[in-house]
Structures are given as C-alpha cells and as structure tokens.
C-alpha cells in the first residue's frame, strides 16, 4: 500500500474527514435469524448457510420468504445521519451470493422475492438526498454461484462443469451494474478474498477494473491478498487504498498517509440474529469511535436489520445517543488527525486539528491530566461545548498538566480543547 499519490490523497479526503460510517449486513439470512429447523445455529447470522451446512436446494426457498415490507430507505439513511455517520456500506452481495439489487445477470436477487423492489436503488436516491455517501460491500466468495470454487464440503454439485474464470466475468458484470447504475459509489468494500482460487493477479486486475468504472471510488485492501488476518493491514505490495481491521482497534496508529477503518458489530453478529442481545453500551461505542480517530482511523459500525426491514430498537437507541454526543463534540472527531503522542494516554485519547488538540477524557476521577512531553506553549484550554469552561494548564519539564474542573467529573466523555502556539511538538522520553 505504498502507492502514495496526490490523486489518492484527493480521493481519500472525504473518507478521512468522515471518520464514522454505518455497515449494513442484510439479506436472506435475516429470515432464519440464526435459527434453522428450530435449532439455534452458533456463529454469526450471515454464515448460517455454512454453520448449519445447508445445501443450495434447502437455502433457495428463503428467497420466497424475503418480504421486508417495513423497509424505508428514508428512515435508514436518516438514522445513520442522526447518529453522526457520514457514509453507509451495505452488503450488495454477501457470501451466500444473494443480490440486493435488480441484477440482469441472475435471478438470485431481490426481484425474485415477493418484495420485488431494488433496495440499492432506493438507498442510492435517499443517500443523494440526505448527502450521505453510499458504498457497496461485495463478497468475492460466492457459495451459491455454480462457477465459484472451491465448493463447501457438503455441497455435492459437480465441480467438473465449474469455470472460475466465468465466475469472475459474472462478478465483473455485476460490479459494472453497481458502478454504473447507482450514482457515485464512495467505497467498493470487498471481502471473502481469502480462498486459494482468488489470486494477487485477480486482485490487481479487479482494483483497476473498479477504478476504471468510477475513478473516484475508494477500494479497500480486501480486493487483493495482502491483508494480515483480523488485524486487517496489508503487508507488501498489494492493491487496495486502506486497511480493514475487524472487531479490533489497533494498539497505535500507523503514521501519516496510512489509512484504515475498523469495522465492528454492535452485538456479536453482522447479520440479524433474533436471540443475540449482547449489545455494546453507548459509552463503549463512543470510546471506540474516539479511539479510532485518535489513531488516524475510521469506525465502521454494523447494523443487522430484521427480515421486516427495520433496525432493532437497541441499535436505534444507541445510535441516537451517539448522535447526541457528536452534535456537541463532532468538531473533535470529523476531519481530525491522529494524536501527536506516540501511545494512548492513561486518562483518555487525543485528536488533533492543526494547532488544536482535543482531549477526550475517559476517566474523570483524577484531579489532573498530564500531556507527557508536550513542548508547545498552550494559548488557551477550555471545555468543548456550550459552557466553554476555562481549564487551568501549566507547563513543566514533564510536559503540560491540566487541572480538571469539578463540573466535568460527572459528564460522560467530556472533551477539552487546547489552542497551541504552533503545531504540537512532543518530546518522547526514553524511560
């Protein structure tokens, strides 16, 4: 990922500004919602075909049961916007091969369901209206398509007739539909690249193919083979514009020019599971967003809608509360850069914008906050938000120490903004 060029810097500008996006895993797997033939199936909901070892013949009838009459693109996009999210990445096609748009290349799509509405078309129109970037997740692995290899162990469809090159042509044909029929697409978010049939050459080629169709589209690193497991960053010379940690946030950032986005579930599944109620708290979700921004990365938070087409209530509540916090503190997240301090600080996190530092206080119980090694003179320090309470700051050989105002002690995740006398200079001590 050492292809640093001005064009790329321009293309990723909105992504760096955005910092916070909504991931949506939706499809036929929402219908069983983690239960197959009355049995709770372990693992993530969108893998039920695999986890329950379902045959294609037994899985296909779900298409006739998919009828999300409560689906409202307007509501979904408004919920993301009110939460402070700036882009939406939705599963155009997940590993089960089912397509959420009207594809001319298959009947295994939403037009083959009783619903008969092009979900991506409606979302594209609403995203344009509400100025939210629409992005498409697209799985390279396809358990349903007869030409995709390898087959699952219990899938007895003959292999001899399968033609992987023909599968790639099919996939490219569908990507052409998605990248020419739904307006500007912010990110092509590939996944399922880990099987041996998909090669580095395929990855390089697909990256160029997407960029040729929409030059401004950002392509994640799962288009190619360089990703290092769940840590998600690419090692070596592979295609892809940014790294994709999954269900984890890197310990530290990766320095300027290295872009990444951590994707995470709100409970323990990407696709809807009726019995998974292990919801993360709003505080945990906000701390994750702040943690990502303080390390120069984005936070892509997942929603698994119900088969009726709604967002589970616990998700709506948490997103609403995140939106409230961002309405008051968004300045300390959007368009910020990574902390100038080499490691996360014991009391919280720091984001930066020019000569301003934003101190996100996770632990308000201690009387003072130390900014170790900060050598730049502090012009002013005050709380972010309506009150703008002034915060005493004093310089010492150790760095700068701030005295926490009493009023902040009970506030959830307060932010202090520091105006510096120039770009922050931090002297890292050996000890």
Name which position in 109, 191, 276, 291 contacts ligand FHN (CB under 6 A). 191
CB of 244: closest distance to ligand FHN in angstroms? 7
3-state per-residue secondary structure call for 148-201:
CCCCCCCCCCCCCCCCHHHHHHHHHHHHHHHHHCCCCCCEEEEECCCCCCCCHH
Write out the E strands in 6-75. Answer: 20-24, 35-36, 39-40
Phi-psi map region of 227: left, alpha, beta (phi>0 left; psi -120 to 50 alpha): beta
Q: Rule CB under 6 A: is residue 142 a binding residue for ligand FHN?
A: no
Q: Which is nearer to ligand FHN, 264 or 359 (CB)?
A: 264
Name which position in 24, 30, 44, 249 contacts ligand FHN (CB under 6 A). 44
Beta strands 39-40 and 35-36 are antiparallel
Q: Rule CB under 6 A: is residue 263 a binding residue for ligand FHN?
A: yes
Closest CA to 327 of 390, 261, 386: 386
Which stretch in 44-52, 128-136, 167-175, 319-327 sits in contact with ligand FHN by CB under 6 A? 44-52
Closest CA to 232 of 242, 220, 241, 245: 245
- Judged by DSSP in three states, 227 sits in strand
**How many residues belong to the site for ligand FHN (CB under 6 A)?**
7
CB of 183: closest distance to ligand FHN in angstroms? 24
**For the purposes of burial, counting CB atoms within 10 Å of the CB of 133, is it exposed (0-12), middle (13-18) or buried (19 or more)?**
buried
Q: Which two tokens stand for residue 28?
A: 């036929």
Name which position in 270, 325, 334, 358 contacts ligand FHN (CB under 6 A). 270
Q: Which is nearer to ligand FHN, 136 or 270 (CB)?
A: 270
Q: Rule CB under 6 A: is residue 77 a binding residue for ligand FHN?
A: no
How far is the C-alpha of 43 from the C-alpha of 47, rounded, in Å?
Answer: 7
Name which position in 33, 46, 124, 261 contacts ligand FHN (CB under 6 A). 46
Q: CB-based contacts of 13: which residues, under 8 Å, 6+ apart?
A: none
Residues of span 236-255 touching ligand FHN by CB under 6 A: 246
Q: Which is nearer to ligand FHN, 191 or 276 (CB)?
A: 191
Q: Which is nearer to ligand FHN, 126 or 259 (CB)?
A: 259
CB of 91: closest distance to ligand FHN in angstroms? 7
Q: Which is nearer to ligand FHN, 218 or 263 (CB)?
A: 263
Helix residue ranges per DSSP H, 310-371? 313-329
Phi-psi map region of 242: left, alpha, beta (phi>0 left; psi -120 to 50 alpha): beta
Q: Which is nearer to ligand FHN, 143 or 325 (CB)?
A: 143
Which stretch in 40-48, 63-71, 281-289, 390-398 sits in contact with ligand FHN by CB under 6 A? 40-48
Query: Interface residues with ligand FHN (CB under 6 A)?
Result: 44, 46-47, 191, 246, 263, 270
């Amino acid at each position: 990922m050492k292809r640093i060029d001005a064009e790329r810097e321009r293309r990723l500008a909105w992504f760096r500004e955005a910092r916070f996006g909504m991931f949506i895993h939706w499809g036929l797997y929402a219908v069983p919602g983690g239960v197959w033939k009355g049995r709770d199936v372990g693992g993530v909901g969108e893998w039920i075909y695999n986890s329950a070892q379902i045959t294609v013949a037994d899985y296909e009838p779900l298409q006739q049961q998919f009828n999300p009459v409560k689906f409202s693109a307007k509501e979904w996009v408004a919920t993301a916007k009110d939460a402070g999210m700036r882009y939406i990445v939705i599963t155009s096609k997940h590993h089960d091969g089912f397509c959420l748009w009207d594809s001319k290349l298959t009947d295994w799509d939403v037009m083959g369901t009783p619903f008969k509405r092009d979900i991506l078309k409606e979302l594209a129109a609403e995203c344009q209206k509400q100025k939210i970037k629409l992005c498409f997740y697209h799985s390279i692995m396809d358990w349903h398509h007869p030409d995709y290899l390898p087959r699952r162990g219990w899938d007895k469809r003959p292999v001899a007739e399968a033609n992987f090159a023909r599968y790639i042509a099919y996939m490219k044909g569908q990507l052409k539909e998605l990248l020419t029929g739904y307006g500007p697409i912010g990110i092509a978010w590939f996944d399922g690249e880990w099987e041996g049939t998909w090669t580095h050459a395929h990855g390089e080629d697909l990256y160029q193919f997407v960029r040729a169709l929409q030059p401004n589209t950002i392509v994640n690193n799962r288009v190619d083979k360089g990703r290092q497991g769940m840590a998600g960053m690419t090692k070596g010379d592979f295609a892809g514009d940014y790294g994709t940690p999954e269900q984890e946030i890197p310990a530290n950032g990766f320095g300027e020019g290295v872009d990444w986005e951590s994707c995470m579930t709100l409970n323990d599944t990407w696709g809807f599971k009726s019995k998974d109620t292990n919801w993360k708290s709003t505080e945990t979700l906000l701390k994750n967003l702040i943690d990502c921004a303080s390390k120069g990365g984005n936070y892509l938070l997942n929603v698994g809608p119900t088969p009726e087409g709604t967002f589970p209530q616990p998700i709506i509540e948490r997103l609403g509360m995140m939106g409230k916090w961002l309405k008051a503190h968004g300045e300390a997240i959007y368009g910020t850069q990574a902390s100038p301090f080499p490691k996360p600080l014991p009391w919280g996190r720091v984001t930066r914008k020019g000569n301003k530092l934003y101190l996100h206080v996770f632990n308000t119980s201690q009387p003072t906050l130390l900014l170790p090694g900060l050598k730049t003179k502090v012009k002013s320090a005050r709380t972010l938000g309506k009150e703008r309470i002034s915060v005493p700051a004093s310089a010492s050989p150790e760095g700068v120490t701030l005295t926490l105002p009493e009023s902040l002690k009970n506030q959830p995740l307060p932010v202090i903004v520091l105006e510096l006398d120039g770009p922050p200079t931090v002297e890292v001590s050996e000890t």
